Amino acid sequence: MPYTRREILALGAAAGAAILTGARGTLAQSPLVTKPIPASGERIPVVGVGTNRYRSGDPDYVARLRDTLSAFARVGGKVVDTAPSYSDSEDVIGGILRETGIRERLFLATKVDREGADAGRARIEDSFRALGVARVDLFQVHNLRDAGTQLGTLRELKAAGRIRYVGITSSSDRQYEEMEAIMRRETLDFIQVDYAVGNRGAGERLLPLAAERGMAVLANLPFGRGTQFRAVGDRRLPPWAAEIGCASWAQVFLKYVVSHPAVTCAIPGTTRVAHVEDNLGAARGHLPDAGMRRTIEQFFDSIVD
């Protein structure tokens, strides 16, 4: 499919130039690495996008968000994670989907965060309305809130064909024990949890348990809310980064996360076209093996200790 001039500009100068000139650029050439969702076998690219800073107000900012999601879809990205508590992110995304027509190319994930069945149902219907979609790919119980009740509702909606997958989320080790208990007692398609080279706690029990229970994993906070960029500062990439096809720190951080055997997809938050392009670059080429994962850990530990 040809690229429009606007999309080429949105992809950033280097990638756009590669497409315009027909050069053998990474974007046009190598396919995105995908992993299967255990519950269905459906494959999704290993890097998605988080939208917790998507909001309306400034038209220039909203235009930037539209360009960011358009570029994400254009390069083959699928998983877009949002939540009703991320300001009016769902409304902004709904508007972008209407304007750009990219909904069918995406895998939309949102959340429910209410106590009680009635409040949960109302909140879920608000999400459908805000996103302007008939079907949501993944609905998750946000931070485990009233998980027993909300999972019951989500399963009804799944049976009715309005939701394709159900899951639970957390981003705090204070909830890991409760998360583990829910994972042991419930049948879940997905869990979402914080996991990054600078925050490896979920790797101890939750990630192995997800693999054992056949649950897909979305990894949130893969950059530690951006703190990992501050940790590396202006350090140059070590020579081993090239061995795993990484041209930026973002790609090192993301390849670390998605090379965990239990992680299905990382969802780095970004509001910028250049960063989407950078992040999707981590879903190309080969992923670190166990030895390289240890090298990345040791390097990161040595600069933060």
Ligand X SMILES: NC(=O)c1ccc[n+]([C@@H]2O[C@H](COP(=O)([O-])OP(=O)(O)OC[C@H]3O[C@@H](n4cnc5c(N)ncnc54)[C@H](OP(=O)(O)O)[C@@H]3O)[C@@H](O)[C@H]2O)c1
**Residues binding ligand X (CB under 6 A):** 50-52, 81, 142-143, 169-171, 192, 220-226, 229, 250, 267-272, 275, 278-279
Whether 247 and 295 have beta carbons less than 8 Å apart is answered as: no
Nearer to ligand X, 2 or 266 (CB): 266
Closest separation between CB of residue 142 and ligand X, Å? Answer: 5
Query: What is the distance between the alpha carbons of residues 6 and 74, in angstroms, rounded to a whole number?
Result: 12
Torsion (CA) 59, 65, 69, 72 in degrees, nearest 10: 140
Nearer to ligand X, 4 or 172 (CB): 172
Q: From start to end of 106-207, where are the E strands?
A: 107-112, 136-141, 163-169, 190-194
Cα angle: 86, vertex 106, 152; to 5 degrees: 60
Closest separation between CB of residue 172 and ligand X, Å? Answer: 7
Question: 10 Å Cβ neighbour count for 278?
Answer: 20
Closest separation between CB of residue 221 and ligand X, Å? Answer: 4
The packing angle between helices 117-131 and 147-159, to 10°, is 50
Nearer to ligand X, 5 or 166 (CB): 166
Number of helices (H) and strands (E) in the chain: give both, helices first.
14, 10
The residue at minimum Cβ distance from ligand X is 269
Closest separation between CB of residue 291 and ligand X, Å? Answer: 25
Closest separation between CB of residue 102 and ligand X, Å? Answer: 18
Closest separation between CB of residue 65 and ligand X, Å? Answer: 10
Buried b (16+ CB within 10 A) or exposed e, 69-107: bbbbbbbbbbbbbbbbebbebbbbbbbbbeebebbeebb
Nearer to ligand X, 111 or 164 (CB): 111
Nearer to ligand X, 196 or 292 (CB): 196
Nearer to ligand X, 105 or 225 (CB): 225
Only one residue has tokens 């709904």, namely 94
